[in-house]
Structure 1
Amino acid sequence: MKQLPTFETERLILRDVEEKDLNAMFDYLSDREVVKHMGLAPAVFLEDVRNELDWYTSIKEEGTGMRWGITLKNTDQMIGSCGFLNRAPKHHRAEIGFELSRNHWGRGIASEAIHAVLSYGFQKLGLERVEALIETENLASQNMVERNGFQREGLLRHYEYTLGNFDDLLMYSLLRSEWKHR
């Protein structure tokens, strides 16, 4: 299977996620605070994390998405991930998703990673629109995407069914022309 391109930013390396990352992924995916807005229960077993890694592989193989592991430059340990899902090439759009270890919240790391992924999406994948669907209670992610130029479009009521609940999601979007002018 084809490897994703690797990106280097000021502080980060974004790279393909590999089997060697399972333990690092477990560290943050087992944290209730990290996963509470992801529609996932906290990982209890390494097999739970393997399912997430298998999903990364399947969306890449199907062409519906791609997920990069976020690592700090001075270490190869994965501290989160960022990428596209629900990609619709015919319509030149995709959804962006991300999560980050709680130890690295509030440092601008997610914004730095998203900027690299958005650049790839708009420049190399030919995206016209990138969407972010965010739970109404997830104020930190709402603020972060707004700081990165996304516009709130509206509320999607009972849009997803996860962990036994119907979740309301806010729809945000960023258009290529808006990204170019940032």
Structure 2
Amino acid sequence: MTGKVELRNQRVSDAKRFFEILNNPNFKYFKVRPKDVKSERKFLIKNKEKRKNNFEYNYAILYNKKLIGGCGIKIDQHRKFIGEIGYFLDEAYWGRRITTRAVKILEKIGFKKLNLKRIEILMHPKNVASEKVAIKCGYKKEGKMNLLGLKSEVSRQRK
């Protein structure tokens, strides 16, 4: 677990790298995949407006200053004290506890800067790696749900 993990705001210039990571065929459980670099750029351009409207806060994951993934907190618009964490990481860096460290940084942002009272992680039930991240960060399994036609996602809570 050596190396420095940092988060910074995502930039439009990250589009090509994110596109490469998200379109890895071994990347099975992420719900949204950009169809091309141009559509990823469009997504990244919207980040400033999402922050301004307290809707979503997206970050690049840096490992030793190298861009290797992304993460973010989406604010529940009906209960603004709840945030949902999501993350993705380049396969070359899987299994190094980098995502766990990124989630812990995101939690600090969520609880201290955004004044959230609850943070959730929704994941596909077969995504064992994501479940391990949640457990290492102290999340508790609450149940299964069907969200947007995706079967049996698991919800977790940070207390």
Distance 1:94 1:111, change over 3 A: same
| % same residue | 23
The equivalent of 1:24 in structure 2 is: 17
Query: 1:33-112 to 2 correspondence within 5 Å?
Result: 33-34=26-27, 36-41=28-33, 43-73=34-64, 75=65, 77-88=66-77, 91-112=80-101
Q: TM-score, normalised by structure 2?
A: 0.87
In structure 2, how many angstroms separate the alpha carbons of the residues matched to 1:40 and 1:69? 16
Q: Out of 143, 156, 159, which is 1:172 matched to?
A: 156
Aligned residues: 157
The equivalent of 2:111 in structure 1 is: 122
The equivalent of 1:13 in structure 2 is: 6
In structure 2, how many angstroms separate the alpha carbons of the residues matched to 1:32 and 1:48? 19
Unaligned runs of 5+ in 1: 1-9, 176-182
1:137 Cα deviation after fit: 1.2
In structure 2, how many angstroms separate the alpha carbons of the residues matched to 1:91 and 1:44? 31
RMSD: 2.0
**Given residue 170 of structure 1, which amino acid in structure 2 is its aligned partner?**
V
Unaligned runs of 5+ in 2: none
Distance 1:32 1:57, change over 3 A: farther
SS at match of 1:33: coil
Answer yes or no: is the 8 Å Cα contact 1:65–1:83 preserved in 2.
Answer: yes
The equivalent of 1:178 in structure 2 is: none
Distance 1:85 1:91, change over 3 A: closer
In structure 2, how many angstroms separate the alpha carbons of the residues matched to 1:102 and 1:87? 29
In structure 2, how many angstroms separate the alpha carbons of the residues matched to 1:170 and 1:55? 28
**Given residue 122 of structure 1, which amino acid in structure 2 is its aligned partner?**
F
In structure 2, how many angstroms separate the alpha carbons of the residues matched to 1:116 and 1:88? 22
SS at match of 1:37: coil
SS at match of 1:78: strand
**Given residue 121 of structure 1, which amino acid in structure 2 is its aligned partner?**
G
Question: Is 1:152 aligned to residue 136 of structure 2?
Answer: no
1:13 Cα deviation after fit: 2.2
